[in-house]
Structure 1
Amino acid sequence: MSQFSYSDDVLRKLFGDIKTVALVGASPRGERRASWRVMRFLQQAGYKVYPVNPDAVGQEIHGEKVYATLQDLPEKVDLVDIFRRSSKVAPVVDDAIEVGATYIWMQLDVIDEEAAAKAEAAGITVIMDRCPAIELPRLQQAA
């Protein structure tokens, strides 16, 4: 269980507000990678998902071109979903602030309280140590 608590209302608002997602750390290596599965889940849930991974530029994941950075994306994204180690989060948060993201989601076991505070000071709602592929179905069942 996560030490971070987010109300269902906050999570419902996030899922209702977002249309576009940048999935940072997206892996083209198939179903054994959580980022690959979560990207597919978000697409199937109706969101436009842009994979971001500088090591996979030139490839496609789930039919979407892979981008090197958030700044390279063809449109502003509502949510930046981070699949990186906690020690690598701060630069991604800086980029999310720069591109004007509304929400930042750090996946299970991804925690950077200092970066989260910086994002929140910039007006971005931050979720840490959670997975949208767990939270969205849970909320739908509870409704």
Structure 2
Amino acid sequence: MTQNPSNEARRQLLEEAKTIAVVGLSNKPDRTSYMVSAAMQSNGYKIIPVNPMIAGETVLGEKAVASLLEIDGPVDIVNVFRRSEDVLPVAEETLKMKQKPKAFWMQQGIANEEAAKLAGDEGIAVIQDMCIKVDHALLRVGK
């Protein structure tokens, strides 16, 4: 399995990042994707909800888009809340974005070696099977 970046590299990534596109963000407050995104937003990150089922709706005060390709500005991290077997198309879409993100982050319980290799080969940092919110707290980002 592809090696995740070191604690120091992930801390630096989280300290430098400003915008996180969350693929699979739910509009339901009881869902993990919503809770994690709300926590990251409360830590100062701009969240862009990416979910075709709720495109046009407002989630966490931000307008949801159907696809990563609809995002105009720069995205530092693409954070993925999809089943492992559904991640490859997300990685492929990530590579077609106007500006490549610094990181492709698969949440805890999500890993896809093919997607990891695809993004990694393009110079994008790949994190698999780790919760961005937990990592942010454990690495004491901004402290």
Partner of 1:7 in structure 2? 6
Following superposition, the deviation at residue 4 of structure 1 comes to 5.5
Partner of 2:111 in structure 1? 111
Partner of 1:51 in structure 2? 49
In structure 1, C-alpha distance between the alignment counterparts of 2:4 and 2:105, rounded to whole Å: 13
Q: Which structure's relative contact order is higher, taking Cα pairs within 8 Å and 6+ residues apart?
A: 2
Post-superposition Cα deviations, 1:66-105, rounded to whole Å, max 9, x if no partner, equal: 0000011131211100000011100100111111111010
In structure 2, C-alpha distance between the alignment counterparts of 1:5 and 1:59, rounded to whole Å: 34
Q: CA RMSD in A?
A: 1.6
Alignment of 1:126-137 (within 5 A): 126-137=126-137
In structure 2, C-alpha distance between the alignment counterparts of 1:113 and 1:89, rounded to whole Å: 10
The answer to whether residue 26 in structure 2 is matched with residue 27 in structure 1 is yes
Other structure's SS at 2:48 match: strand
TM-score of the two chains, using structure 1 as the length reference: 0.91
- Structure 1 residues 87-96 or 4-13, which shifts more? 4-13
Verify the 8 A CA contact 1:83 1:107 in the aligned structure 2.
Answer: yes
1:81 pairs with one of 79, 82, 100: 79
Going from structure 1 to structure 2, the CA distance change for 1:34 and 1:4 (only over 3 Å counts) comes to: farther
Other structure's SS at 1:10 match: helix
In structure 1, C-alpha distance between the alignment counterparts of 2:56 and 2:5, rounded to whole Å: 37
Partner of 1:18 in structure 2? 17
Verify the 8 A CA contact 1:4 1:129 in the aligned structure 2.
Answer: no
Partner of 1:71 in structure 2? 69
Partner of 1:140 in structure 2? 140
Unaligned runs of 5+ in 1: none
Verify the 8 A CA contact 2:21 2:75 in the aligned structure 1.
Answer: yes
Verify the 8 A CA contact 1:51 1:66 in the aligned structure 2.
Answer: yes
Other structure's SS at 2:126 match: strand
- Counterpart amino acid of residue 126 in structure 1: V
- Counterpart amino acid of residue 109 in structure 1: G
In structure 2, C-alpha distance between the alignment counterparts of 1:68 and 1:5, rounded to whole Å: 28
User: Number of matched residues?
Assistant: 139
In structure 1, C-alpha distance between the alignment counterparts of 2:8 and 2:138, rounded to whole Å: 13
In structure 2, C-alpha distance between the alignment counterparts of 1:64 and 1:137, rounded to whole Å: 23
Other structure's SS at 1:140 match: coil
Going from structure 1 to structure 2, the CA distance change for 1:76 and 1:83 (only over 3 Å counts) comes to: same
Q: Comparing both structures, which one devotes a greater share of its residues to helix? A: 1
